[in-house]
Amino acid sequence: MNDAHRWLHEHPELGSGPIPIEPYIAPEWYEREREKIFRKVWLCVGRVDEIPRKGDYKVKRLAAADTSVILMRGKDDVVRAHHNICAHRGNTVVTETGPETFGRSKAAIVTCRFHGWVYGADGALKHVPSEERFYQCFDKKQNGLSPIHIDFWEGFIFINLAETPDNSLADFLGDYAGHFAGFPFAELSYQFTYHTELECNWKVAHDAFAEAYHVDTIHAGSFPNTFSTGLQNVKLMGPHRTCAVCLTLGATPTPVAGIANSIAGASLVTQRAETMLPPTINPDKRDDFAFELSVLFPNTLIHISEGIWFTHQFWPIAHNRTLWEGRYYVRPPKTNAERWAMEHAMTLQRNAWLEDTATMEDTQRAMQSRAKTVQNLQDDEILIRHSAAVVDEYVNA
């Protein structure tokens, strides 16, 4: 017999009552999230293959922490992280061109455009124009870039902005790291990227992607009758969470989608073999398995399937504004036919993402009316319920 309340029975500690709306709309709550979460926990800010050569760098703007971060690969092939602020007059060292800025210096240095102070990839202050005009108290060795704690997992770059992190990255990831260990993220390097700013709280954006209850309504056009609404293999791993999303077997794709799926298999809406999935993913070998949907606390969703992985990240800008970044990865195409099939699959995926984001700003505006003060969740919205509990725990720690 199908248990309509199976996740409540497995996780009674999360309760079954409604969850409050105030954390989504209150500026003072957002300020506590900034202090207790985004300035203290490990944040995923990129991948090492984004800066593959010595001297490559990436600058990531983090509005929730009032900083931007220089990630740079040194001549010693080590990737380090520093705050993007000059020790002279506080200007940004690397001029930003958007939420992410990329560049390269063969000498593995960055230079502040304001007065020409030069810093190495290791953060050391290398050169100060007219240095003799500074006073005796000035010491170049004490005025390098401000370092940031950095660590790596499966090619992902993590930073922690706390002066002293509460835990190591390994401890922070816990069982989550083992659950995805061994998946060939780096092999699937052909990337489609989207980003936009949304007028909603970062948790509104998170919640829109963290359940499959909406698929039959929101995605009726892009993926009609494609996914069953029930989640499978839900696992809660400390602050993180994961589950399986499954196909509706026997669903007939459109003729064009059927051809594209047969060429490249770059779409989530087709059955595929499981040659690259870790044994922890789809452990009961369900025929209807589509993809693993996971949330890496606080703001990163990682999804994996055979030959595909993709991420969503929700970066807070204000209590009611969020930067959404979506990235979709497949194997590099070898033929024009494969590229066409991948472009078709990504167009469908893009349409689905647009359908998801189309609800978010309306949700925020409606919530801000305070006409309703709580949300009523059903059993398969357990990832949202778990998220609310984890955020509350951090904010009120």
pLDDT in tens, 32-56: 999 999 999 999 999 999 999 999 9
What is the per-residue pLDDT for 10?
95
Closest among 13, 6, 8, 10 to 393, alpha carbons compared:
13
Average pLDDT value for residue range 196-205: 96
The single residue listed with the structure tokens 């706390």 is 162
At 367 the pLDDT is: 97
Neighbours of 76 (CB within 10 A): 10
State yes or no: pLDDT of 326 exceeds 80: yes
pLDDT of residue 221: 62
**pLDDT score of 312:** 96
Place of tokens 């944040």: 43
Report the distance separating Cα 318 and Cα 195, nearest Å. 17
Q: One fold for both 6-23+176-395 and 43-165?
A: no
Of 210 and 219, more confident: 210
Q: Residue 205 pairs with which residues in a beta bridge?
A: none
**pLDDT cut 70: percent of the chain above it:** 93
How does residue 223 score in pLDDT terms, banded at 50, 70 and 90?
low
pLDDT for 251 beyond 70: no
User: Among the CATH numbers 3.90.190.20, 2.102.10.10, 3.60.40.10, 3.60.130.10, which is that of 43-165?
Assistant: 2.102.10.10
How do beta strands 118-120 and 109-111 pair? antiparallel
Token pair 């720690």: residue: 397
CA–CA distances in Å: residue 71 to residues 317, 348, 381:
21, 33, 36
Average pLDDT of the residues in 100-112 = 96
Structural domain boundaries in the chain: 6-23+176-395, 43-165
Mean pLDDT, residues 371-375 taken together = 97
The distance from CA 320 to its chain's CA centroid, rounded to whole angstroms, is 18
Which amino acid makes up residue 132? E
Residue 137 has pLDDT above 70, yes or no: yes
Least confident range from 97-106, 196-205, 266-275, 354-363: namely 266-275
Q: Between these two residues, 252 and 190, which has the higher pLDDT value?
A: 190
Tokens of 315: 């970066």
Q: Tell me the CATH number for domain 6-23+176-395.
A: 3.90.380.10
What's the mean pLDDT in 245-270?
Answer: 76
Lowest mean pLDDT among 148-162, 340-354, 364-378: 340-354
- Return contacts of 266-275, CB within 8 angstroms, 24+ apart: 266/307, 266/308, 266/330, 266/341, 266/342, 266/345, 266/346, 267/344, 267/345, 267/348, 267/349, 268/305, 268/308, 268/349, 269/223, 269/226, 269/348, 271/247, 272/305, 272/306, 272/307, 273/306, 274/306, 275/306
Predicted confidence at residue 219, as pLDDT, reads: 65
Average pLDDT estimate for 190-214: 91
pLDDT higher than 60, residue 318: yes
Q: What is the mean pLDDT of residues 361-382?
A: 96
CA dist., res. 381 & res. 293, Å (int) = 13
